[in-house]
């Protein structure tokens, strides 16, 4: 996550630096000449994190955390060197930059970065004011007398909003200790008019933070328990000798002299009596070199997953020892070495990234980023199929679907802000619809969107959308649920409630241990509108459940609104926003006479066809909420195009329109064709089996007809028996065909 906490922090600093004219990220450095340890020249390429352009210089910058830079100095001493405490250089890149009239430097992440990064996230979401408002002028006059906290200013100045104070901080008109305090701590965050005064207060706060967050390093704290107990016993005996209760020995006279010198130097008597028993004993392995190599090979096979269990690992080790001609060690010795092996490597080799993330060691809270400090500033978005199957109202089990749910959680309060239900695989349409719902509800877009590595989250559409609206897109590692735990917990709670309803997929997950009549395809009864209502009620209830701190997400939401207010950028739901939240189509073409042919439908409008004859096509986008609508960008302007069934669904409520659209999106991906083919094949199979059974019955009747009485034979006028299975199947086929024709426009002249 270096790019999230290191490079992003430096990018924020560049944004707030008025001397920076421009900067570029991930800059290639070609033709870097290095000298290897054997004296040979080596020319290769490198990639720098930033190229910064200022009025007087151009700099190439590499961003590193302090511990990572120190590790690189040890691993690559010819590439990385330490100039001073916390100052690093790369001689090869220094020479490369100097030959091009630039300078190269390594920027090291500050030790206390969590508060700084959280404050920068909030300040970056606001714009510097072009002119001060009346309340901001009162703030400046009030701070001219003495520093005041944000809480004091909010209480003293009527109609002063927290966002106005954030604008003053962004523009540099006032200053605050952004490295040690967060902006939501309004009663402890002082504001200054003078930069030097603020830096002095911030330095004092940093010194206090370093002291409180420093790990224990004194001799008593780092000594072993055995050494500490021995020191207490030595001090007890020394005290008795000093009191005359027993005679001094030669060793204790020397210890008494050593303790006196240590106490004079400022140490305690107990610390001076510490022993070093921990350093005694065997330190070198007693194994032969051949045995050591065999054990190392067994540990290596264990780490890369070639040994499936510990017993198999020991058997393979004994076979290897026989091949090497050495005596194997005991099983307990090998098991001890396997316990000390890298569990992360084995988890990655045997279970992939999900197993690796499960075994990953938790990061130190001292070097961990903080949640957002503004409401709506950072959205954590995740999606999954809910554990319930929708019954569409048709007697056809091939149409039963599990909706996929998208939920957006506010990172600052863990409050579910909005959600979206869709069908089929995860895709950009549902994500775009979620963003539309968020803007319709709150009137703004978030400053940061945090998602996982799903295909729809790494699409070009989302990247372009975030770049257009100045949204920072954070994509956390695969299967790293700790980075998105709030939204995953919310989805888990929703599914736990849905397990109690008809159509639950919990019996499906148990496999063959549950009879088929209990599976979700047999018990599905809830339609899409009902399921949407239930999910909405569950999420509304979750907003009122108290969290670990004793406050519910809605209470935290209201409290944070009082301290920092809404973050993000104000956005209107206009045609421009609707166009950019529509999904681009890369393969469609515009026919000047017919329109846009996409899947089964032709999208057209008189204005679009007229424009197609005199302008060029730039972009075609499918609306994420209305399957009958496409938005087209021409060189002459933007136009709408509709499908033949547009009038039929134009008057539907928004929820039903989405339901129809989601099924039509699947029809575009040939899912309905495959369903129809499966259904037709099933019908042919059933009909063939029925006809085969009828022929066998006829042969049996012919064979026994001479033995049967005349009265037992059926009359030629008797109607044939109607088979219930065949009748149900025919009705189901008619329903499916009617559903397809009803949604896809049976009046399309081109079909």
Q: What is the pLDDT of residue 694?
A: 63
| Confidence at 424, pLDDT banded by 50, 70, 90 | low
CA dist 39 and 34 (Å) reads 10
Q: What is the pLDDT of residue 300?
A: 94
CA dist 220 and 59 (Å) reads 47
CA dist 69 and 73 (Å) reads 6
Q: What is the pLDDT of residue 579?
A: 95
| Confidence at 713, pLDDT banded by 50, 70, 90 | very low
CA dist 592 and 608 (Å) reads 8
Of 169, 49, 29, 154, the closest CA to residue 99 belongs to 29
Per-residue b or e along 453-477, where b marks 16 or more CB atoms closer than 10 Å to that residue's CB: ebebbebebbeebbeebebbebbbe
The more confident residue out of 200 and 428 is 200
| Confidence at 482, pLDDT banded by 50, 70, 90 | low
Q: What is the pLDDT of residue 738?
A: 45
Of 415, 403, 459, 350, the closest CA to residue 552 belongs to 415
- Cα separations in angstroms, 247 against 232, 272, 273: 19, 21, 18
Q: Counting every residue, how long is the chain? A: 751
Quickly tell me which residue has 């039903």 as its tokens: 656
pTM of the predicted model, to two decimals?
A: 0.80
Coil/strand/helix, residue 22: strand
Report the CATH fold assignment for 115-212: Arc Repressor Mutant, subunit A (1.10.10)
Lowest pLDDT segment from 131-145, 331-345, 680-694, 714-728:
714-728
Do strands 472-475 and 590-591 pair parallel, antiparallel, or not at all (unpaired)? unpaired
H/E stretch holding 410: strand 404-410
Strand ranges, E, within 265-365: none
Domain segments of the chain: what residues? 2-109, 115-212, 224-273, 371-570, 582-668, 671-704+723-744
pLDDT above 80: residue 731: no
CA dist 645 and 664 (Å) reads 11
In 564-625, which ranges are continuous DSSP H helix?
A: 575-580, 606-612
Coil/strand/helix, residue 694: helix
CA dist 553 and 490 (Å) reads 12
Give the mean pLDDT of 160-175.
93
Structure tokens at 638: 């933007």
Q: What is the pLDDT of residue 93?
A: 94
pLDDT above 50: residue 736: no
Quickly tell me which residue has 């049996």 as its tokens: 700
| CA 673, chain centre distance (Å) | 35
Q: What is the pLDDT of residue 283?
A: 72
Q: Per-residue pLDDT tens for 276-301?
A: 888 887 777 888 899 999 999 999 99
**What is the phi/psi pair of residue 317, to 5°?**
-65, -40
CA dist 428 and 605 (Å) reads 25
CA dist 588 and 10 (Å) reads 42
pLDDT above 80: residue 27: yes
Q: What is the pLDDT of residue 19?
A: 92
% of the chain residues with pLDDT over 70? 85
- Residue 59: beta bridge partners? 52, 103
CB 418 within 8 A of CB 487: no
CA dist 695 and 699 (Å) reads 6
Q: What is the pLDDT of residue 670?
A: 54
Of 266, 276, 273, the closest CA to residue 237 belongs to 273
pLDDT above 90: residue 154: yes
Of 61, 63, 91, 62, the closest CA to residue 76 belongs to 91
State the burial class of residue 230 (Cβ atoms within 10 Å of its Cβ: 0-12, 13-18, 19+). middle
pLDDT above 70: residue 746: no
Coil/strand/helix, residue 452: coil
Of 279, 277, 258, the closest CA to residue 269 belongs to 258
| Confidence at 715, pLDDT banded by 50, 70, 90 | very low
* Contacts by residues 160-164 (CB-CB < 8 Å, ≥ 24 positions apart): 160/135, 161/135, 161/565, 162/186, 162/563, 162/564, 162/565, 163/126, 163/565, 163/566, 164/129, 164/133, 164/135, 164/136, 164/139
Q: Which residues contact 639 (CB under 8 A, 6 or more apart)?
A: 605, 607, 608, 611, 631, 632
State the burial class of residue 596 (Cβ atoms within 10 Å of its Cβ: 0-12, 13-18, 19+). buried
pLDDT above 50: residue 710: no
CATH of domain 371-570: 3.30.420.10
SS3 per-residue string spanning 42-72: EEEEEEEEEEEEECCCEEEEEEECHHHHHHH
Q: What is the pLDDT of residue 723?
A: 46
CA dist 586 and 576 (Å) reads 20
CA dist 351 and 275 (Å) reads 46
CB 101 within 8 A of CB 62: no
pLDDT above 60: residue 327: yes
Of 723, 599, 744, 740, the closest CA to residue 680 belongs to 740
- Cα separations in angstroms, 573 against 483, 552, 567, 591, 720: 30, 30, 18, 30, 63
Question: What DSSP assignment string belongs to 106-137?
Answer: EEEPPSS-HHHHHHHHHHHTSPPPSS--HHHH
Give the mean pLDDT of 332-355.
88
Structure tokens at 451: 């998602």
Residue 211 half-sphere exposure, CB side, CA atoms within 13 Å? 6
Residue 439 half-sphere exposure, CB side, CA atoms within 13 Å? 18
Coil/strand/helix, residue 222: helix
Q: What is the pLDDT of residue 40?
A: 85
Average pLDDT, the chain: 84
Q: Tell whether the torsion through CA atoms of 256, 262, 267 and 271 is positive or negative.
A: negative
State the burial class of residue 62 (Cβ atoms within 10 Å of its Cβ: 0-12, 13-18, 19+). buried
| CA 452, chain centre distance (Å) | 4
pLDDT above 90: residue 606: yes
pLDDT above 70: residue 747: no
Give the mean pLDDT of 546-573.
89
- Residue 46: beta bridge partners? 29
Do strands 637-642 and 629-634 pair parallel, antiparallel, or not at all (unpaired)? antiparallel
Coil/strand/helix, residue 630: strand
Give the mean pLDDT of 635-653.
89
Q: Which residues contact 555 (CB under 8 A, 6 or more apart)?
A: none
Quickly tell me which residue has 């917990």 as its tokens: 489
Give the mean pLDDT of 706-734.
44
Q: What is the pLDDT of residue 399?
A: 57
Lowest pLDDT segment from 337-346, 412-421, 567-576, 674-683:
674-683
CB 162 within 8 A of CB 563: yes
pLDDT above 60: residue 379: yes
CA dist 444 and 204 (Å) reads 38
SS3 per-residue string spanning 467-524: HHCCCEEEECCCCCHHHHHHHHHHHHHHHHHHCCCCCECHHHHCHHHCCHHHCHHHHC
Q: What is the pLDDT of residue 328?
A: 93
As a whole number of Å, the end-to-end CA separation of the chain is: 52
Q: Per-residue pLDDT tens for 49-86?
A: 999 999 999 999 999 999 899 999 999 988 999 988 88
| Confidence at 681, pLDDT banded by 50, 70, 90 | low
């Amino acid at each position: 996550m270096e790019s999230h906490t290191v490079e992003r922090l430096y990018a924020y600093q560049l944004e707030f630096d008025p001397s920076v004219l421009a900067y570029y990220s991930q800059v290639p450095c070609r033709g870097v000449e290095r000298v290897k340890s054997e004296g040979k020249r080596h020319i290769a390429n490198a990639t720098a994190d930033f190229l910064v352009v200022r009025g007087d210089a151009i700099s190439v910058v590499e961003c590193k955390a302090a511990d990572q830079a120190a590790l690189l100095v040890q691993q690559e001493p010819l590439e990385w060197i330490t100039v001073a405490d916390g100052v690093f250089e790369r001689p090869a890149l220094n020479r490369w930059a100097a030959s091009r009239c630039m300078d190269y430097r390594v920027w090291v992440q500050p030790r206390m970065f969590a508060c700084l990064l959280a404050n920068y996230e909030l300040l970056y979401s606001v714009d510097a004011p072009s002119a001060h408002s009346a309340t901001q002028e009162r703030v400046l006059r009030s701070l001219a007398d003495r520093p005041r906290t944000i809480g004091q200013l909010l209480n003293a100045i009527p109609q002063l909003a927290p966002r106005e104070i954030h604008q003053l901080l962004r523009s540099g008109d006032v200053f605050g200790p952004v490295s040690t305090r967060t902006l939501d701590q309004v009663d402890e965050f002082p504001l200054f008019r003078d930069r030097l005064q603020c830096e002095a207060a911030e330095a004092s706060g940093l010194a206090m933070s370093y002291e409180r967050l420093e790990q224990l390093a004194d001799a008593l704290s780092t000594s072993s328990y055995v050494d500490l107990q021995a020191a207490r016993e030595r001090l007890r005996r020394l005290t008795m000798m000093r009191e005359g209760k027993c005679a001094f020995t030669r060793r204790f006279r020397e210890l008494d002299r050593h303790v006196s010198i240590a106490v004079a130097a400022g140490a305690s008597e107990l610390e001076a009596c510490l022993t070093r028993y921990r350093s005694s004993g065997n330190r070198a392995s007693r194994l032969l070199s051949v045995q050591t190599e065999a054990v190392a090979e067994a540990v290596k096979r264990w780490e890369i997953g070639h040994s499936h269990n510990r017993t198999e690992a020991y058997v393979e080790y004994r076979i290897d020892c026989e091949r090497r001609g050495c005596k194997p060690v005991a099983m307990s010795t090998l098991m001890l070495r396997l316990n000390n092996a890298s569990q992360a490597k084995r988890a990655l080799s045997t279970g992939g990234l999900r197993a690796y993330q499960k075994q990953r060691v938790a990061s130190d809270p001292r070097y961990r980023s903080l949640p957002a400090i503004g409401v709506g500033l950072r959205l954590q978005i995740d999606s999954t199929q809910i554990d319930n199957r929708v019954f569409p109202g048709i007697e056809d089990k091939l149409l039963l679907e599990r909706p996929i749910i998208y939920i957006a959680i506010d990172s600052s309060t863990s409050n579910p802000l909005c959600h979206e239900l869709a069908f089929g695989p995860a895709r950009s349409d549902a994500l775009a619809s979620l963003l539309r719902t968020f803007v319709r509800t709150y009137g703004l877009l978030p400053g940061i969107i945090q998602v996982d590595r799903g295909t729809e989250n790494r699409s070009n559409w989302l990247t372009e959308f975030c770049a257009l609206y100045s949204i920072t897109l954070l994509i956390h590692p695969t299967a790293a649920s700790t980075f998105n735990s709030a939204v995953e917990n919310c989805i888990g709670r929703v599914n736990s409630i849905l397990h109690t309803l008809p159509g639950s997929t919990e019996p499906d997950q148990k496999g063959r241990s549950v009879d088929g009549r209990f599976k979700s395809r047999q018990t599905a009864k809830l339609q899409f509108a009902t399921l949407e209502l239930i999910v909405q009620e569950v999420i509304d209830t979750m907003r009122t459940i108290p969290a670990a701190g004793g406050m519910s997400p809605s209470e935290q939401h209201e409290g944070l609104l009082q301290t920092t207010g809404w973050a993000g950028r104000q956005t209107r739901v206009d045609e421009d926003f609707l166009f950019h939240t529509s999904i681009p189509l890369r393969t469609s073409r515009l026919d000047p006479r017919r329109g846009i042919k996409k899947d089964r439908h032709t999208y057209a409008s008189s204005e679009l066809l007229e424009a197609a004859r005199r302008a060029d096509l730039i972009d075609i986008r499918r609306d994420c909420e209305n399957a009958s609508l496409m938005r087209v960008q021409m060189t002459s302007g933007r136009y709408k195009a509709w499908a033949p069934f547009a009038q039929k669904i134009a008057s539907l409520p928004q929820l039903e329109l989405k339901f129809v659209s989601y099924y039509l999106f699947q029809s575009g991906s040939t899912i309905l064709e495959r369903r129809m083919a499966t259904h037709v094949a099933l019908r042919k199979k059933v009909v063939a089996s029925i006809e085969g059974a009828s022929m066998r019955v006829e042969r049996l009747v012919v064979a026994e007809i001479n033995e049967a009485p005349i009265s037992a034979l059926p009359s030629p006028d008797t109607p044939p028996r109607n088979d219930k299975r065949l009748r149900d199947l025919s009705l189901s086929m008619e329903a499916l065909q009617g559903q397809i024709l009803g949604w896809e426009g049976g009046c399309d002249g081109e079909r």
